[in-house]
Amino acid sequence: MHNTLLLFGATGDLAQRYLFPSLLRLLGDGLLPEDFKVRAMALSGHDTAAFHAILGPRLKQAMPQAGEELVRSLLERVDYRSVDLRSPESIAAAVRELADRRCVSYLAIPPALYISTCRGLALGGALAAPHRLMLEKPIGHDSHSAREILDAIAELIDEERVFRLDHYLGKAAVQNLLALRFGNTLLEAVWNRNHIESVEILVAESEGVDGRNAYYARSGALRDMLQSHILQLLCLVAMEPPASLEADRIRDEKVKVLRALRPLDAAHAAHDSVRGRYTAGTINGEPVQGYQPPDDSGIETFVAVTAHIDNWRWAGVPFHLCTGKRMAERSTRIVVTLKPVTHWLFERPDRATATPNRLTFQLQPQENIELGLMSSLAGPEWGALELQPLELELSVPTGLHRRIAYERLLLDAFNGNPALFVRDDEVEAAWAWIDSVSDAWQQAQLPLQPYPAGSWGPEQARPFLPTAFEVGKHDGYRPA
């Protein structure tokens, strides 16, 4: 197990809110080595004592139940260096003395700084075997920039020692998709175009762009969420059964899905996609402002795309992908709608108005599995020919301890387990499809559609929202 974390971007929001609290939990559970050490690095001109003064209160805020002794134990393992991330020499000087330890370098910094930082790590001896490298998404902002980063890093470190994060893959509920799909005959038997009508994936956020203006103005919802989180969910839903749970066997199947995605073209852009931006509205009874990018660019905060996977299993099945900020509530869910029964026997409802069977995986904020059936048990007595919808729900027990995604991913990187990380060809395949969407929008001059904060997105996006989602209770409409 590696015993040293070189953390770049240590003063940033990601490190302060998630990474250091994750380390605190791992330390408290006895899962880190006795000689574990963190070198925190950023541009800010602090010394170690000043950095501790900033980090200590943040740790107590994140984990109020953590005792003073535990917090102090972590702080004693953390020292701080001010570095210029554009200068490989500055980085090399900050890490060289630790190169004789087993280091994992975590780059919680903008992707534009990846190459210079990695060159500095290599210059300081911190990328040679057995050292490892962790990279936050996104890897670039399009295929060209991603390829440039991938090629530059490949010259400095072997692929098997690079751990590219998409933190969604560290979520227990997301990992459970593999267990449900491949551990249950009932699901695998119907998991194809013969039985499935459509698949809808929604990642809705009630939060806005606040505090991320500079980054978001360059990425938007397409590159920030669809390129990473939603495509990862798509892969887990659509992939073929891997030969084993070995990391590369799983990643091989995910790459096949991404390469089978039909590129979006300008002729279908208006029909198969919607892009929007939230205006002023209300969230949880509080008024919020609309989003205005700092450079007045045409960047979107909402995107919905119908994707098609051109292979034998999924030919003809639409995958409706939707994500947005300032939506009515925070929710991540996957809705699988099954085709109607072949021959309808019942008087009421008639075949055309019968509610289809749906399997819903809710991933957050709570984990649930719901199966929508038609049953006479919910109908009137003696009404065997009259069916009504019946929801079967399997809830995850409340209070169950689950490690947050970053805890799991940090632990896997320290132990050298790459299964939940993204391979280089997976990055390239995802960007290739995202570029087709972006290019189609540009060629078709697809306009931004406004939507009020606190709603479920633009009116034009109704067909893309999960049909099992209870939209009407929030803003008066249901998706088609």
Residues designated catalytic = 229
**Dist. CA 201–CA 472, nearest whole Å:** 19
**Dist. CA 450–CA 161, nearest whole Å:** 44
**Dist. CA 45–CA 227, nearest whole Å:** 35
Long-range contacts of 250-257 (CB under 8 A, 24+ apart): 250/178, 250/419, 251/422, 251/423, 251/426, 254/426, 255/423, 255/425, 255/426, 255/429, 256/311, 257/309
**Dist. CA 312–CA 291, nearest whole Å:** 42
* Strand duo 162-165 + 132-136: pairing: parallel
